[in-house]
Amino acid sequence: MRYSFIHPKPKRRLDRESRLLGVFFVITLLMVVGFSLFLWIKKGMLVDEIGQMDGEIRHFKEERADYNRQIERILALSGKYEAIQTGNTLLKESIRNLFDLVPDQITLTKAMLNRDGLVLYGVTPTKEVYNYLLLAPLKSVFQRNTTTFYPLKNGWWRFVSVNEGSMESGEEE
Amino acid sequence: MGKLQRYFWPKSLLLFYLRDETIEAAFGYLEKDGPDLVERRRFGPGEKGRFEAWYRELAEIYPQTYVGTFLETVKQGAFPGCGPRAWQMFGIESALNNVVCIDGKWSAYVSSVEMKWFEQRFKAMTFDYLFSPFVLLYTSIRRHETWRRQCCCAVLHRKGLAFLVIVSPDEGFCYAQALALGSGDAVLDGTLATDETEEELAFDLDMLDEEDVEPIEDVDVFGEFKEESGESAESEAGDENALEMLEYNLNFFEAIKEAIERFYKDDRYPRAFVERVVLYDLEETGDDFVRYVEDELFMEGAVVHADPLQIMAELVAEEGA
């Protein structure tokens, strides 16, 4: 229903100060929202990076475990190699000593050297040669010596000498 | 929301009207449950600047402040009917007048020049509502139950100027006229002023002679006034004032009487017999006027305290901001 000769003029909802306040408020709000958005995006990126880092850490842990296993294996191999090397050196030395022990008159046909002892097969011209030239040094090395002679057609003797209880290994009778 | 609304983007009102050189103003809020005028101020002669400063202050605080007033110019009026045919019938040129149709039944108009002049008087202000005093009167009289039973003549009066509206239960709005008082003559709106002048006055005098009714000027009203006034009229100055007041009241009464006679005589207006005169008085004319009405016109008279600010506030709320 119209009663007035004129129509009311359109009015602003806010006064100048309120509008200014509103503009500042909107700007502040935009800044806060923008900063929040920035933080949110940054956080997302950091979470992604943390995820990636976790993956890398897991990967590195797995690699480290792998390397540790390899190191252990290498160390074991190295130990084994050293043991073999030592064994071989000892064996080599033992064989050299053994062959040094054997006089020229005696011929060895077979020799079996193991951890428990030494078994020698060979031919000797006489038992005395054997007893004086070979058995004496063997007795100084082994604690138990058992020799079995077999006569050959040419007058020589085949012998089998079983020597056990190496004094170096500390084995006692 | 209730009164909370006034704290959040309130719609507010600054309404005022002129009483001589005095500005009666009120500030209030337009709320869902109606207008609420919270502050009234009176600005005396020469305080227009202070009033405009108040307006600026309010407009700054409340950007949605609607300014309204009613036009107290003489060149305005109202007539039954709406539309070009009614305008033509009452000789209203739409190019020279602002016309508003009320309830689809009657129209109020004001001279565009006078409206602009009024707006120029308050250049510093932007008006949102300019009401016709006839709309105010019509709205006020319709709020009283009496108009449903009796044909009422409502008069809004301030010193020197009166606006008259006749409303009947059957026809609704019947007649309106702006009256410039002081000289004793009613200043009519454009249509009537051209149509009826001396002839009508002559008729009035003849009629008075024929009916052997004693003219109101000859009645010893002053004597009665003196009796009633008693001690207040002791001094000479008091006597002069009382005399002036009496003369003014008589002129006012004569103007009302003539306006009613014009209504009866003019065939363009609906037929109705005025039984009651209600004076919405912004001054203190009061009892004398009622006595004249009752004694001379044999009608019921009543004086009602008018609050144009509250009526305007309600009109604004009804029209919607």
- Residue A121 reports pLDDT greater than 90: yes
Q: Is A10 on the interface with B (CB under 8 A)?
A: no
* Residues near B287 by beta carbon (within 8 Å), at least 6 away in sequence: B303
pLDDT number for residue A147: 93
Is A3 domain-assigned? no
**pLDDT the model gives residue B170:** 83
The CATH number given to whatever domain includes residue A162 is 3.30.1360
**Of the partner residues B11, B103, B130, the one whose CB lies closest to the CB of residue A5:** B130
Which residue on chain B is closest to A8 by alpha carbon? B128
| Residue B310 to residue B84: CA distance in whole angstroms | 32
CA distance, residue B39 to nearest chain A CA (Å) = 21
Domain locations in chain B as residue ranges = 5-70, 74-123, 195-240
Question: Is residue B106 classed as helix, strand or coil in its secondary structure?
Answer: strand
Q: How far is A10 from chain B (nearest CA, A)?
A: 9
B159: tokens are: 């010193």
Best of A5, A11, A16, A17 to substitute, by most chain B Cβ atoms within 10 angstroms, is: A5
The closest CB to that of B129, out of A4, A13, A15, belongs to: A4
> B272, B171 in Cβ contact below 8 A?
yes
* pLDDT, averaged across chain A: 88
Domain with A73 in it: 16-101
Cα–Cα dist B269/B155, whole Å: 18
- In DSSP terms, B22 is beta-bridged to B19
Report how far residue B137's alpha carbon sits from residue B145's, in angstroms, rounded to the nearest whole number: 14
Instruction: Specify whether A76 is located in the same domain as A107.
Output: no
Taking contacts as CB-CB distances below 8 angstroms, the residues of chain A near B126 are 9
Lowest mean pLDDT among A3-7, A105-109, B298-302: B298-302
CB contact under 8 A, A14 and B132: no
Query: How many whole angstroms from its chain centre is CA A30?
Result: 61
Residue type, position A26, single letter: V
Contacts A6 to B, Cβ<8 Å: 98, 127-130
Is B82 in CB contact (< 8 Å) with chain A? no
Q: Return the structure tokens found at B273.
A: 């017999």
CA distances from B142 to B136, B169, B235, B290 (A): 10, 10, 44, 20
**Fold that domain B5-70 belongs to in CATH:** Nucleotidyltransferase; domain 5 (3.30.420)
What pLDDT shows up at residue A172?
42
Chain B hits for A4, Cβ within 8 Å: 68, 100, 128-131, 315, 319
Same domain, yes or no: A68 and A140: no
Closest CB to B63 among A1, A7, A12? A12
Among the partner-chain residues B62, B64, B100, the one whose CB lies closest to the CB of A5 is B100
Kindly report the length of chain A.
173
The residue out of A101, A132, A155 marking a domain boundary is A101
What would the mean pLDDT of A142-152 be, rounded to a whole number?
Answer: 91
The answer to whether the Cβ–Cβ distance between A5 and B9 falls below 8 Å is no
Nearest Cβ partner of A13 from B9, B66, B132? B9
pLDDT of residue B55: 94
The reply to whether A91 and A29 lie within a common domain is yes
Residue A140 near chain B (CB below 8 Å): no
Show the tokens assigned to A67.
Answer: 């390397």
Q: What does the block give as tokens for B45?
A: 């002669």
CB contact at 8 A, B135 and A3: yes
* Among B70, B75, B260, residue whose Cα is nearest residue B155: B260
Q: Which of A42, A71, A101 is the last residue of a domain?
A: A101
Q: Are residues A93 and A137 in the same domain?
A: no
The answer to whether residue A11 is domain-embedded is no
Interchain contact, B63 vs A1, CB within 8 Å: no
Instruction: Work out how many domains chain A is built from and give that number.
Output: 2
Query: For the segment A10-41, what is each residue's pLDDT rounded down to a tens digit?
Result: 887 777 777 888 899 999 999 999 999 999 99
pLDDT for residue B260: 92
Q: Which two tokens stand for residue B287?
A: 């009892």
Mutation target among A7, A11, A14, A17 for the B interface, most CBs of B within 10 A: A11
SS3 B306: coil
Chain-centre distance of CA B57, in angstroms?
30
- Helix axis angle for B236-265 and B198-210, nearest 10°, is 100
State the smallest CA–CA distance between residue B172 and chain A in angstroms: 16
Q: For B134, which residue in chain A has the nearest alpha carbon? A: A3
Task: State the pLDDT at residue A23.
Answer: 92
User: What is the DSSP pairing of strand A142-151 with strand B76-80?
Assistant: unpaired
Whether the predicted interface score ipTM is above 0.85? no
SS3 for B38? strand
For residue range A56-92, what is the model confidence (pLDDT) as tens digits? 999 999 999 999 999 999 999 999 898 888 888 887 8
pLDDT at position B258, please? 92
Q: Are B72 and B320 in contact (CB under 8 A)?
A: no
My answer on whether A40 and A77 are in the same domain is yes
pLDDT value of residue B235: 64
Whether the CB-CB separation of B153 and B166 falls below 8 Å is answered with yes
| Residue B46, CB-side half-sphere exposure with 13 Å CA sphere | 0
CB-CB neighbors (< 8 A) of B127 in chain A: 6
State CA B97 to chain mean position distance. 19
Residue pLDDT tens, chain B, 321 long:
456 666 777 889 999 998 878 899 999 998 888 888 999 999 999 899 999 999 999 988 888 899 999 998 888 999 999 988 888 888 888 889 999 999 889 999 999 999 999 889 888 899 999 999 999 999 888 877 766 778 889 999 888 889 999 998 888 899 999 998 864 444 444 333 333 333 443 334 344 444 444 555 554 545 444 444 445 545 677 778 778 888 888 888 889 999 999 999 998 999 889 988 888 888 776 677 788 888 888 888 888 877 899 999 999 998 876
> What 3-state DSSP class applies to B273?
coil
Last residue of a domain, one of A101, A133, A149: A101
Residues A83 and A50 in one domain: yes
Helix (H) or strand (E) holding B242: helix B236-265
Using CB atoms, pick whichever of A4, A13, A15 lies closest to residue B130: A4
